[in-house]
Structure 1
């Protein structure tokens, strides 16, 4: 990461020693004034003496140009990981420092550090608490004069950033096994002559599907020939993420949006490895992120950076506007995977209506997280009146979710419902199942 020049602002104020030294003269002046009233002016002399020491200490203290700071942050970090901020100070005296960071970066111990005279480097550790852009806005520096009576302070405004992405360690661990299974299944499909993309004509043999026989070519060559199919490549997959208010609610201690991003990145990695083309789209009350559909595993870092910039929404998602804009970006038949949450019948009805035009041309799949908290409330044995009310409300919400899911299935939408800790794997398996069936 490049060093950025800092804009500085300074200040000057007394230390605790100077305040105590000034205050110490007050009792002595009072005693002298009582015992020797003619010498009451000695009190003013003491204050002038302390002020002179303050001026002398200010003049002898290092100037702002004699204190230099260097700051370094990593470019990216996965959410939940430790972010090491490296701060270097060059000065002729002891320096204390502090840093200002946004809520994406939570200090593990303290943001304050003490630097000895000379050139020293220290590390301040933060935790990447939330996905997004972690910003470091300012560095505070202060140092004393040689008499220890004044503080010189400087605030350096900065714009250092670290991109906090979804944790890709599960993606790398799970994707290898899923890709291996998909490639093994592809080999098996080629052996039995099934699939979705025509490859060549082969002699028909016992055990092959009779529907694969090409009767026209068989008559021409006077022998039975069958069409050999292989898995279709270069499919288009668009990962659409609802970033509205409902997706910011926690599920298992983690916002639904973060879980959706992790599942989307796992599906994107596997699809790119299998030579399909993948894009990313996110919307809340309006579209907030759109990445062009691209191929090759080299495009995965771009999808990762785009996903890291999807912020947590505070308003209801506008499914009509979001899905309409999404449809306008697609130029061919595409598998659209929508990550969303059903909150109430009204918003669900609007979402269902917005999905209907997409089904005329595209294939639509929903990833729905099982709400184990609601299921637990609905299944718990009630002991008080509040428990009965809570169970009835939870059962009503679950029933509304089931009604919406059933309507989507009747429309032709593929529904993937899974636990939050297995949603990514379930999504990839459903995607591979569509490829095996030749539906994509």
Structure 2
């Protein structure tokens, strides 16, 4: 397709106005209008001829596009003008894609070098699922800037938006690097477990109950026992994937932030010799892997976690926790990733947790509600601000009350900012393991 550029339209309008004025002033000046139109049309045709052929424009085959929720990616198209004909100096492109992909800009401009151009689009997916690239428009102008040529490419390319596995791996490398100087706690094998490790000289500050009196008498030196943390524990990641978990937090659904933290904790558990399992639920149980062992199990957990869909159902804690309790045959650490928003659902959850705590260790993981905190702390400039602040403070108070009741029942709570959920829950797991509470 060939279109006149804004420059051509402006010249056409300006010439028509001048021709009208000249025609009014001089009777023979009317011919100036048609002559101007003919000259401009001729220039437009010549400009289009020198702009480059539409049939010569080729789109290179696309490589598989890795897309992960919450991670910024780059989408690049390679276009080339084949043959030895005229070529433009720059091209402009526009891309139509399914909204789930989260394009930062729908149009871009690239210079043509050696007959080709690279069209780059940045994107940041906000939700998992199947997205698609639909249409690519490429447009360029001639050397005079009077005529546009445009070619449309129907893409029809499916782009699955998956869990950010690379982000989990990067964070795991940082946290578990042997020579890391910064970050969260490094995993230690020595601790307050019950598995005997070795005898060592007693030093001031050590627990006197660890002194081995028989060996001390035999060696005529005060010796103490060192213990290591136990292995082969069951750690179950219970993910609440109900309606509230689908709400976005800083551009990413709460559920996906929980999934990233759960996968990071699963990697830590499998790496330390424990078993990890995935349990997802909303109004019913969606995924239940049971405890898995070995580092290779992380691939299974990643694949199943990517299948957790966004739900509009309310969370049924009673059904989920009762079902989980019935399937666990030995004492386990149950890490519940959820949020307390409904006081009625929280009451039912507390009742179910009480039965689960009789045999298992429970760790609740929730994100700080920074929006409610900001509303509660906002300066009351208008009457509406006072109402918002009171309502927000009431919701925070109910949330803290639920957390306090769970602590008194014996559950452990991790409340972290959305960017620190993974490291904080990992530190809590290592602390529970070191204290031999598993």
Deviations 1:285-343 (A, max 9, x none): 67777767543323435545665676777x56423498279749957555432111111
User: Compared with structure 1, are the counterparts of its residues 14 and 310 closer, same or farther at alpha carbon in structure 2 (3 Å cutoff)?
Assistant: farther
Equivalent positions of 1:93-242 (< 5 A) are 93-94=87-88, 95-100=91-96, 102=99, 105=102, 107=104, 111-116=107-112, 118-122=114-118, 124=120, 126=122, 128=124, 130=126, 132=128, 136-145=133-142, 148-158=145-155, 159=157, 161=159, 163=162, 165=164, 167-168=167-168, 169-176=170-177, 181-185=187-191, 189-191=195-197, 231-233=230-232, 235=234, 237-242=236-241
1:86 to 56, 64, 76: 76
CA separation in 2, counterparts of 1:292 and 1:140? 49
Deviations 1:13-72 (A, max 9, x none): 212243244335424543564466578567456545655665666566544331123355
Q: Does 1:338 align with 2:329?
A: no
User: Compared with structure 1, are the counterparts of its residues 415 and 186 closer, same or farther at alpha carbon in structure 2 (3 Å cutoff)?
Assistant: closer
Compute the displacement of 1:273 (Å): 0.4
1:15 is aligned to: 5
1:264 is aligned to: 262
2:54 is aligned to: 64
Compute the displacement of 1:367 (Å): 1.5
User: Compared with structure 1, are the counterparts of its residues 373 and 21 closer, same or farther at alpha carbon in structure 2 (3 Å cutoff)?
Assistant: closer
CA separation in 1, counterparts of 2:139 and 2:186? 57
Would the aligned equivalents of 1:246 and 1:343 in 2 still touch at CA under 8 Å?
no
State the secondary structure of the residue aligned to 1:190: strand
Would the aligned equivalents of 1:374 and 1:398 in 2 still touch at CA under 8 Å?
yes
- How many residues are paired up? 395
1:319 is aligned to: 316
CA separation in 1, counterparts of 2:426 and 2:117? 46
Deviations 1:381-430 (A, max 9, x none): 999998987776555434423443355456x6622234336654443344
CA separation in 1, counterparts of 2:16 and 2:420? 72
Tell me the TM-score normalized by structure 1: 0.66
CA separation in 2, counterparts of 1:65 and 1:344? 61
Compute the displacement of 1:236 (Å): 5.0
CA separation in 1, counterparts of 2:3 and 2:382? 62
State the secondary structure of the residue aligned to 1:30: helix
Compute the displacement of 1:270 (Å): 0.5
State the secondary structure of the residue aligned to 1:185: strand
State the secondary structure of the residue aligned to 1:114: strand
Compute the displacement of 1:93 (Å): 1.8
State the secondary structure of the residue aligned to 1:189: strand
User: Compared with structure 1, are the counterparts of its residues 123 and 271 closer, same or farther at alpha carbon in structure 2 (3 Å cutoff)?
Assistant: farther
Deviations 1:330-362 (A, max 9, x none): 575554321111113123234345656766886
For structure 2, which runs of at least 5 residues remain unmatched after alignment? 179-183, 200-210, 215-226
User: Compared with structure 1, are the counterparts of its residues 54 and 388 closer, same or farther at alpha carbon in structure 2 (3 Å cutoff)?
Assistant: closer
Would the aligned equivalents of 2:194 and 2:228 in 1 still touch at CA under 8 Å?
no
Tell me the TM-score normalized by structure 2: 0.66
Task: Note the aligned Cα RMSD (angstroms).
Answer: 5.0
CA separation in 1, counterparts of 2:287 and 2:12? 60
State the secondary structure of the residue aligned to 2:232: coil
Would the aligned equivalents of 1:93 and 1:118 in 2 still touch at CA under 8 Å?
no
CA separation in 2, counterparts of 1:375 and 1:114? 45
Compute the displacement of 1:242 (Å): 3.7
Deviations 1:60-112 (A, max 9, x none): 654433112335575256846x53333322125222223345465454x8941
Would the aligned equivalents of 1:68 and 1:90 in 2 still touch at CA under 8 Å?
yes
Compute the displacement of 1:191 (Å): 3.0
User: Compared with structure 1, are the counterparts of its residues 51 and 326 closer, same or farther at alpha carbon in structure 2 (3 Å cutoff)?
Assistant: farther
2:66 to 75, 85, 95: 75
State the secondary structure of the residue aligned to 1:181: coil
State the secondary structure of the residue aligned to 2:267: helix
